[in-house]
Chains A and B, each alone.
Chain A
Amino acid sequence: MSNPDWLERAALRAQSATWTLAHTFERYRQLEARTEAELARELGCTREALHWLCLCRKPEGPDFDTQVIAITERHEVDLRTLVDVIRHVEIVGALTRDTGVAEHPLQMAARDRVPGEKTNS
């Protein structure tokens, strides 16, 4: 099935909504000086798949793992990279807030684990 002609424009427009993955991807691209094509390549998907990803809600909260897995299963993107991108933007965002101090840095670090990955404990 072909992609709709509004997809790219919608992905671009979604960047203004902070709860979207589009916003997260845009921040990541700014921070890491990546083009859209480069980001798609890192995630292991096409640009069209990246545009669909942009319309997703950014995974967060206690269901983070479930949400990330659902996204990667539907769009066949690299799970590790997706988690890294989200975490990177979250951490940089927390560190650069006006207060200069991350709100919950320890909690974020504790969640910084790839879903399904076994821990030593």
Chain B
Amino acid sequence: MRFPSQAEEQALHERVLKKNESLASEDVFRVFMDPIIGVLRSNPGRTKDEAHDAACDVLLEYLEHPERYQAHRSRLSTYLMRAAAMQALDMYRSQVARERREREFGGVIELRATAPNESLEIIVEARHLVGRLEQAMQEKDQAVLGLILQGERSTHALAKAMNLPPQSEKDLRREVKRNRDRLMKILGRFGKEE
């Protein structure tokens, strides 16, 4: 289907501009949809639905703001066709970005997720181990271990949890490291026993 003549386009545009003729918008669809879809479909990578949606969105946008079209710059059909091509490109880019996000998200889930029965077993086992650890360790050591497992690396924070007396920075670091190594050894032994 071909685009209408320039005079027909202009007459239709003037009807649309008035916004007081309900049928003008329907006529815009009747006149422009098929030719625009035809142009969009000439791109082999584009599906029929994508072409339909892009053409439809562009016409709806034009009908909402017909004053944005400036007749002295180009024909209405050129304006709409260019807008539809841009719209189709935007839709394609959004789709690619969405697919990439979903793929990346899927990858993370695949790596981290465990089978439902496995995760239940892990929870039961972890609870059992925590109970055993609480019995094997003093309360002070449990607090320090909690901090270490949460990723705390500050010497002063660990020293505070270890109840170490004030001392020089060098001594404090050595003392914290000594206590940390002791706890790791306890954990290591505990792991072997289990």
Contacts and interface: CB of A to CB of B under 8 A. Distances in A.
B21 A9 contact: no
Nearest to A53: B26
A31 interface: no
A33 interface: no
A20 B25 contact: yes
A16 to B, nearest CB: 8
B22 A4 contact: no
A55 B20 contact: no
Nearest to B18: A63
Given A13-B53, A16-B60, 19 more contacts: A4-B33, A6-B33, A6-B55, A6-B56, A9-B52, A10-B56, A13-B60, A17-B60, A17-B64, A20-B25, A52-B26, A55-B26, A56-B23, A57-B25, A61-B20, A67-B20, A67-B21, A67-B23, A74-B23
Size category of the binding interface on chain B = 20 to 34
A27 interface: no
Given A6-B33, A13-B57, A55-B29, A71 B20 contact: no
A4 B57 CA distance: 17
19 contacts: A5-B48, A6-B33, A6-B52, A10-B29, A10-B33, A13-B53, A13-B60, A14-B56, A17-B64, A20-B60, A53-B26, A56-B22, A57-B24, A57-B25, A57-B63, A59-B22, A61-B20, A70-B21, A74-B23
